[in-house]
Amino acid sequence: MRNWPLGLIVPLQDPTPFSPFAPGNWRQALRRVKTAGYDGVELAITNPARINPDTTKKALESEGLRLLSITTGQAAGLEGLSLASPDERIRRRTIERIEAHMDLARRFGAVVIVGSLRGADGGIKLLTEALRECAKHAPEVRLALEPLNRYESRLVNTVAEALDVIEEVGADNLGILFDTFHTNIEEVLVGEAIRAAEDRLLHVHLADSNRFVPGYGHLDFAQVWDALDAICYQQALVVEALPEPSTEALLNAPARLRGERK
Ligand code: LER
Ligand code: MN
């Protein structure tokens, strides 16, 4: 199976370098994402309390786009939130933030991403306990823990480390987000890491070795497709790349990737 749904990131509240769209123009962004041939979106949301879920749902439906995933990490930089913070008040606020994301995601069947919100450092035990609490909040909503490269976080850099945390947490709804950019830095063999994630793999971010649009760096994506095939991956692929070498390349990615994957 090589027809994985493809998504692009659209920010709803604060700008992100991984999207060419400004939050103020999110409705127009949805139109452009659909026209570009994507099947869905990953919404970048800082605080779901400031979202009207009905308006969001209607806008997505009118464009015929799925909400595949919610990326949550903007609140790490903007508000200093972290699931692994030694400061209990920060941890509590972060757990509540993830729970609010889960409440929103439940309405769409979307995956909630735990990337930068897990913290750049802090305690792995604190992180494990916090994730257990989040996972319990809504067992039907999937949480995807994303291995990040060592320059962004000291906690959970590889699939093997993510699997250890998942085992320790012991919740069925906690899995892995595999980001080809981070894992190209941290893993020995990208394909082997995907195979190791196996049925815990809930979501994939695509970017090339330089974080450009896939195809404009030196990552061997054939290894990625083969490994995803081998584990019978049936979830989505979201392009989380800088708009480099151009926004046009980002918008051409569906045609390019579908051609490449045939
Ligand atoms: C989030 O998905 C991610 O990959 C981070 O590198 C963003 O800072
Ligand atoms: Mn990512």
**H/E stretch holding 159:** helix 159-169
Could you report how far apart the first and last alpha carbons of the chain are, in Å? 10
Look at residue 211 and give its three-state secondary structure: coil
The two tokens of residue 30 are 């949805």
Q: Give the pLDDT of residue 262.
A: 40
pLDDT tens profile 232-261? 999 999 999 999 999 999 999 999 999 854
Strand, helix or coil at 218?
A: coil
96 is catalytic: no
Contact 182, 211 (CB under 8 A): no
C-alpha of residue 116 to centroid of ligand 1, in Å? 6
Q: What is the pLDDT of residues 52-108, one digit of tens each?
A: 999 999 999 999 999 999 999 999 999 999 999 999 999 999 999 999 999 999 999
Residue 32 belongs to some domain of the structure: yes
**C-alpha 151 – ligand 2 centre gap (Å):** 13
Taking only the tens place, the pLDDT of each residue in 158-217 is 999 999 999 999 999 999 999 999 999 999 999 999 999 999 999 999 999 999 999 999
Question: Whose Cα sits closest to atom 7 in ligand 1?
Answer: 116
The CB of 73 under 6 Å from ligand 1? The reply is yes
Q: Which of 243, 257, 184 is nearest to 9 (CA)?
A: 243
Q: How confident is the model at residue 117 (pLDDT cuts 50, 70, 90)?
A: very high
**Which mutation among 19, 71, 114, 116 tests ligand 1's pocket best, with the greatest number of atoms within 8 A of CB?**
116
Q: Is residue 80 part of a domain?
A: yes
Distance CA 54, CA 117 (A): 26
- Name the CA radius of gyration of the chain, rounded: 17
pLDDT at 25 over 90: yes
Is residue 179 within 6 Å of ligand 1 at its C-beta? yes
Q: Distance between CA 23 and CA 170 in Å, rounded?
A: 36
Tokens of 248: 């046009």
Give the pLDDT score at 259: 85
Instruction: Answer yes or no: is 1 within a domain.
Output: no
| Among 116, 125, 236, 105, CA closest to 173 | 105
| Residue 145 clears pLDDT 90, i.e. is over it | yes
- Cβ–ligand 1 distance for 115 under 6 Å, the answer yes
Closest CA to 178 of 164, 155, 195, 166: 195
Would you say residue 175 lies in a domain? yes
Do the domain assignments include residue 206?
Answer: yes
Q: Residues 240, 244, 248, 260: which is the catalytic one?
A: 240
Q: Is residue 1 scored above 70 in pLDDT?
A: no
Residue of the CA atom closest to atom 6 of ligand 1: 148
**b/e 105-119 (16+ beta carbons within 10 angstroms → b):** beebebbbbbbbbbb
The residue-averaged pLDDT of 117-133 equals 97
Q: How confident is the model at residue 114 (pLDDT cuts 50, 70, 90)?
A: very high
CA separation for the pair 237, 29 (Å, rounded): 18
**Token pair listed for 174:** 């906690």
Question: Distance between CA 243 and CA 79 in Å, rounded?
Answer: 25
94 is a domain residue:
yes
Q: Does an H or E element contain 112, and which? A: strand 111-114
The CATH number of the domain where 181 resides is what?
A: 3.20.20.150
Cα 170 to ligand 2 centre (Å):
23
The per-residue pLDDT for 260 is 57
- pLDDT attached to residue 177: 99
**Catalytic residue, candidates 42, 133, 146, 186:** 146
Whether the pTM exceeds 0.75: the reply is yes
Tokens of 172: 């069925």
Domain that holds residue 47: 6-259
